[in-house]
């Protein structure tokens, strides 16, 4: 029996060195406006990460709607009626399921408010 103890310890040690599983939810978010400005950030939820400047808030808002971008609850905000369209997209996975989302907003302020800050970057 003592012979198998070192082998068991080795197997356990290798199991501890295994790479962490990939994040459950990860996205590439993009915005493009009429002035030709293009913004792209990464967003990872579970654990929170990526280059999105408000990643904690964005992940919290997406968690509230189970990753369904079209169900994000708009934040109350006064925006001008200026028409300067902003096209946004999200491509990635939410809890392992593929997600592709695209929509347009009347202007940057509306995009920020109606996306609950998810597309604020």
Residues whose CB is less than 8 angstroms from the CB of residue 18 and which lie 6 or more positions away in sequence, other chains included? none
Looking at residue 21, what is its pLDDT? 63
- CA 41, 46, 47, 49: dihedral to nearest 10 degrees? 10
* Residue ranges of the chain whose pLDDT lies below 70: 1-18, 20-23
Residues 6-30 pLDDT 10s? 555 544 554 556 676 655 899 999 9
Which residue in the block uniquely carries the two structure tokens 């994040």? 23
pTM beyond 0.95: the answer is no
Output phi, psi for 8, to 5 deg.
-60, -40
């Amino acid at each position: 029996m003592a012979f198998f103890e070192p082998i068991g310890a080795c197997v356990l040690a290798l199991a501890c060195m295994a790479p962490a599983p990939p994040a459950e939810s990860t996205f590439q978010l993009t915005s493009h406006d009429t002035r030709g400005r293009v913004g792209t950030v990464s967003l990872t939820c579970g654990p929170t990460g990526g280059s999105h400047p408000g990643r904690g808030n964005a992940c919290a808002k997406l968690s509230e709607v189970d990753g369904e971008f079209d169900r994000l609850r708009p934040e109350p905000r006064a925006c001008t009626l200026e028409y300067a369209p902003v096209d946004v997209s999200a491509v990635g996975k939410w809890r392992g399921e593929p997600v592709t989302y695209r929509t347009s907003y009347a202007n940057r302020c509306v995009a920020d408010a109606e996306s609950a800050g998810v597309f604020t970057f």
